[in-house]
Structure 1
């Protein structure tokens, strides 16, 4: 088994990162919203390709306001655009952080799970040959792999 990750993050560093993230969350709280899944599905979305288009339209709406429909509030349009251009760089940084945190956690978790399975299989074999103390450990750990069959009995799934 190849060990692809071996890190020890000092508790003080984790605490400092958590405090910084808490501060970011508090600073943004008055300005951010949470959409429901239905709202997320139903609204038109601006993508990377749409972003330059919207930026051009904002400029055109300033310089050639006669083409702006009366139902579009130019000040609110510009305010929305400024929010997008201010938040997108933050979102991109957060996406990068989230991706690397997710990948690191996934890899460390995978390695820990493989090690746990190796231990479990070892204790399972030891219990089969009546090695002292193995049966109690095995009985405790095997609960993770039990599944109820249709007749109500449990099966060891490993």
Structure 2
């Protein structure tokens, strides 16, 4: 084989463990994750990197001036939100890195399989002429057939 970017493979038992671990993470996060529609996302006030410091300072100032704050403003809940935001963000960074690595691996292993398939197909085309594989060659060759282009509309 001309290419082998991913040489190690997982067993069925390892895949089962991975699926169980993913399900466990989903179950642990289920009580706190929410679904937000695209329209809701657009309407939400976003907290970027610079906003984190602003929110912490605002919480400090509000706590120092409780007499000025409306009773409906729950500063303790705001602090819990900030703490959870930090905790989620820490995990999100790790998950995004993992997803990128998994995507890269999926691309690499797909490329390995495609290169091997193309090598085998080339061999079948070159030496498989009388070996009873003509129908199989044609079947594999359909992958490279292009759909006919539509004729240009008359002006």
Asked if Structure 1 and Structure 2 have the same fold, meaning a TM-score greater than 0.5 normalized by the shorter chain, the answer is: yes
Whether the 8 Å contact between 2:3 and 2:116 is mirrored in structure 1 is no
Deviation at residue 105 of structure 1 after TM alignment: 1.5
Counterpart CA distance in 2 for 1:15 and 1:111 is 24
Q: Does 1:147 align with 2:146?
A: yes
Which residue is equivalent to 1:80?
81
Alignment length (residue pairs): 150
Counterpart CA distance in 1 for 2:42 and 2:126 is 51
**Cα offsets for 1:55-100 (capped at 9, x unmatched):** 3322332223456578855344334223212211221221122121
Q: CA, structure 1 residues 57+125, in 2 after alignment: closer, same or farther (shift >3 Å)?
A: farther
Counterpart CA distance in 1 for 2:130 and 2:35 is 55
Give 5+ residue unaligned stretches, structure 2: 151-155
Which residue is equivalent to 2:61?
60
Which residue is equivalent to 2:153?
none
- Which secondary structure does the structure 1 equivalent of 2:146 belong to? strand
Counterpart CA distance in 2 for 1:28 and 1:133 is 56
Q: CA, structure 1 residues 64+106, in 2 after alignment: closer, same or farther (shift >3 Å)?
A: farther
**Cα offsets for 1:117-158 (capped at 9, x unmatched):** 22223323345xx2323312222222333332146xxxxxxx
118-127 or 30-39, which moves further after superposition?
118-127
Whether the 8 Å contact between 1:120 and 1:141 is mirrored in structure 2 is yes
Provide TM-score, normalisation by structure 1.
0.75
Structure with more contact order per residue of length (Cα contacts < 8 Å, sep ≥ 6) = 2
